[in-house]
């Protein structure tokens, strides 16, 4: 079996270390060591730790972004409620998996500010899923399946915020009171009732 490409090994190592140690405590030196390469090799593939973090989110947890893009590009397919329930399921899992990675940033304000600056420079960050969902909802608004006076950005922010809150609120306890599929469907139904 041929060896895995260096970039793949780096992303795998980064994902595992960021999940177990958090973004703040994970260094590029540790990632390179775990990937079996030099730090110089790591920097041939990723310009910064923030770019590596983004790579982990995009390539190791890709379902949310891909789902939002697919829906935006194909308004009118499926029901809006079903589509939003799918988004909510993926978003809840995405946030549950990313929250432990990023939470450590809140322990060091200086590093958190640096991380946020880097994210803005790359044009990525927590606003992107909300913007992508807003784009889908506006496309559905154009098809007439959403009220013309509905605030699609507010609806997108509410849905994504509820999914992020689920990850935050239930990460340290026995688990959420409502199973994921029920949560996603109830949330989607509530949003659709408000904008339908």
DSSP 1-65: -PPPPHHHHHHHHHHHHHHHHHHHH--HHHHHHHHTS-HHHHHHH-SSHHHHHHHHHHHHS-HHH
Domain 61-195 in the same topology as domain 1-49: no
Specify the CATH number for 61-195; select among 1.10.357.10, 1.10.390.10, 2.60.40.10, 3.30.360.10.
Answer: 1.10.357.10
> Over its length of 196 residues, how does the chain's per-residue pLDDT go in tens digits?
777 899 999 999 999 999 888 888 899 999 999 999 999 999 999 998 888 888 888 887 768 888 999 999 999 999 999 999 999 999 999 888 888 787 777 777 887 788 788 878 888 778 889 999 999 999 999 999 999 999 999 999 999 999 999 988 775 556 667 899 999 999 999 999 999 8
Give the burial class of 172: count Cβ atoms within 10 A of its Cβ; 0-12 exposed, 13-18 middle, 19 or more buried.
Answer: exposed
pTM of the model: 0.82
Domain ranges of the chain: 1-49, 61-195
List b or e across 92-112, with b for residues whose CB sees 16 or more CB atoms inside 10 angstroms. bbbbbbbebbbebbeeeeeeb
Return the CATH fold of 1-49: Arc Repressor Mutant, subunit A (1.10.10)
CA distance 153 to 147: 13
pLDDT of residue 62: 63
């Amino acid at each position: 079996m041929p060896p895995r490409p260096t970039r793949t090994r780096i992303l795998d190592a980064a994902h595992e270390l960021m999940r177990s140690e958090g973004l703040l405590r994970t260094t590029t030196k540790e990632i390179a060591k775990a990937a079996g390469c030099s730090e110089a090799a790591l920097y041939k593939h990723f310009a910064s730790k923030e770019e590596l973090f983004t790579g982990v989110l995009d390539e190791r947890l890709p379902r949310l972004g891909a789902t939002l893009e697919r829906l935006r590009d194909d308004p009118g397919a499926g029901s809006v409620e079903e589509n939003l329930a799918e988004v909510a399921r993926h978003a809840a899992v995405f946030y549950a998996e990313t929250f432990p990675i990023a939470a450590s940033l809140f322990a060091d304000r200086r590093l958190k500010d640096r991380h946020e600056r880097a994210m803005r420079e790359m044009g990525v960050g927590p606003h992107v899923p909300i913007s992508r969902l807003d784009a889908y909802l506006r496309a559905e608004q154009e098809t007439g399946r959403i009220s013309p006076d509905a605030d699609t950005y507010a609806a997108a922010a509410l849905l994504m915020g509820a999914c992020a809150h689920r990850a935050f609120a239930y990460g340290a306890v026995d688990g959420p009171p409502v199973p994921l599929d029920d949560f996603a469907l109830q949330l989607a139904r509530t949003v659709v009732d408000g904008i339908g």
